Chain A
């Protein structure tokens, strides 16, 4: 079977994505690396060169805190997204075909919204003057209308809105292929639906769940608009500071060094997650 696939798919076809990867990722990354070690000219731009001064600036409690903030916010968003998306997808897969298509089309429609639109819509929706606070006040839940933005809640709501469709789209294929007899077997052995879900469905789908977590984590780690629009300064992620350095302070070496560190941290987190996943699988 695999030999047949090898014969009908010419080997050179693989070169196309390889070239694409080199052009669109490796070359820009190499430029970024070279800029990150370039020499910063105070009051000007930068000169090509090799120095680690920009990296040295990152070894401070300040940047450590920002990096931790970024990882915690992205990790939190990933956990919330997948925690919501997994049961959602299981229920979705149990629905009739027509309803499934409708829901998936709606999710894809969400993907077409830009971060800017999501950010501004949420900041209006959570505002004191035009937002849900007025509804709560009218219902008598609160005395006067309140603002729920900016803050951690607003930021998480925005990031999860952004990441949720991705989590569902990663989980949907394996969940819809899941053998329904597994759940039925658990129930026939006397497990409650919730117990069956937790002890059978979740462990079987550990790999796609991990995949969804990683995807949302990496995706939200790069968000820089939502933390500005919906977060307080203490929620500004490394991406926001990279933007400030690159766009507003024209300190490209420092911005590039931060971006390299962010990329390495993201890769390390992904590697760690995969390693933990494999170990647990081997242990089980």
Chain B
């Protein structure tokens, strides 16, 4: 009897021992957080992740991700195979909404993310049935940028893109869904983005936008390509990110970012968790941490992004806030266009750009 139970216990212990390394690994495996590779990832590694680990004891493994939908496709493919290349990912809005439609994001416990109260409603993401799945991570502006040596005077309006003086001098983003040039054109020439509600309206805006084509030297997909050309003056004007341009200027590069009178485009990224992730608890802890006003203020100071929490909650001075954002009313992207009518818009866009 004793012997039998010994054997049984032994077997159980043996099994337990065999299983133990896996459990240990799971607990000690770092939380994998995906942010846009390059500058964003470096900044998070330097300023954000170490403090998070020091406070919570949760190790973070940083994963550099491509911007936009490339990462969404990879997450989706991996999730089909039950894999999560990252637990938490920062996703652009169109990609986030597409993931929501596909049910790709894990449901989160609202009680585990109390700091979501700090965020405005449009930065608290829920499925249609009300299940909470993500929060606004950072926001940023796409502004009118110029090389200061080629343009001693800063331009004041997006109409500079249409100016014949700027022939073959512009660098613009190559895709409808990341350039938001339809919104910029609508705000500049049609009094606002309401015109984008109908297909006829979109066509009218596209026709107006087609007029900038002779001025565009580079339709870029790769940010590095444009930034380098902007700094050297090879392509002295274009649309680009306010935060990165400010950092390049601070580094002594002859570039400037201008908030045009029609407003700059306010875009944002959100934290979501892959449904294939096995680290939901730690992911929630991370997302809650990132929604704290002091962390959002730190992001503004060190990474150069605009806070997603209400400004009053942060201790940012006017000067600090001005460096990352503007009180001018922004141009808000018409995201529904790229989700509900994406194939149609992309087709018309491709015809406009290559035509």
Which of B73, B221, B342, B353 meets A228, CB within 8 Å? Answer: B221
Q: Tell me whether B225 is interfacial, beta carbon within 8 Å.
A: yes
Known contacts A41-B102, A147-B234; 12 additional CB pairs below 8 A are A43-B340, A44-B102, A45-B73, A45-B76, A129-B233, A233-B174, A233-B219, A247-B70, A248-B178, A250-B76, A251-B343, A252-B73
- Say yes or no: B343 contacts A42, CB within 8 Å: yes
Q: Tell me whether A62 is interfacial, beta carbon within 8 Å.
A: yes
A44-B98, A45-B102 known; A248-B234 Cβ under 8 A = no
| Residues A37-88 near B (CB distance < 8 A) | 40-45, 57, 62, 66
- Say yes or no: B98 contacts A234, CB within 8 Å: no
| Residues B54-107 near A (CB distance < 8 A) | 66, 68-70, 72-73, 76, 97-98, 101-102
CA distance A42 to B225 in the complex (A): 31
- CB-defined contacts of A252 to chain B, threshold 8 Å: 73
Q: Tell me whether A110 is interfacial, beta carbon within 8 Å.
A: no
Q: Tell me whether B139 is interfacial, beta carbon within 8 Å.
A: no
Residue-wise, chain A 204-228 has the 8 Å CB interface mask toward B (1 for contact) of 0000000000000000000000001
- Say yes or no: B98 contacts A250, CB within 8 Å: yes
- Say yes or no: B72 contacts A250, CB within 8 Å: yes
Q: Tell me whether A150 is interfacial, beta carbon within 8 Å.
A: yes
Q: How many residues of A contact B (CB 8 A)?
A: 33
**Residue ranges of A at the interface with B (Cβ–Cβ < 8 Å):** 40-45, 57, 62, 66, 120, 123, 127-130, 147, 150, 228-229, 233-234, 236, 241, 244-252, 254
Distance (whole angstroms) from the CB of A113 to the closest CB of chain B: 18
Q: Tell me whether B189 is interfacial, beta carbon within 8 Å.
A: no
CA distance A147 to B234 in the complex (A): 8
- CB-defined contacts of A128 to chain B, threshold 8 Å: 234
CA distance A66 to B351 in the complex (A): 10
Distance (whole angstroms) from the CB of B129 to the closest CB of chain A: 17
Distance (whole angstroms) from the CB of B200 to the closest CB of chain A: 20
A42-B343, A249-B343 known; A150-B217 Cβ under 8 A = yes
Q: Tell me whether B48 is interfacial, beta carbon within 8 Å.
A: no
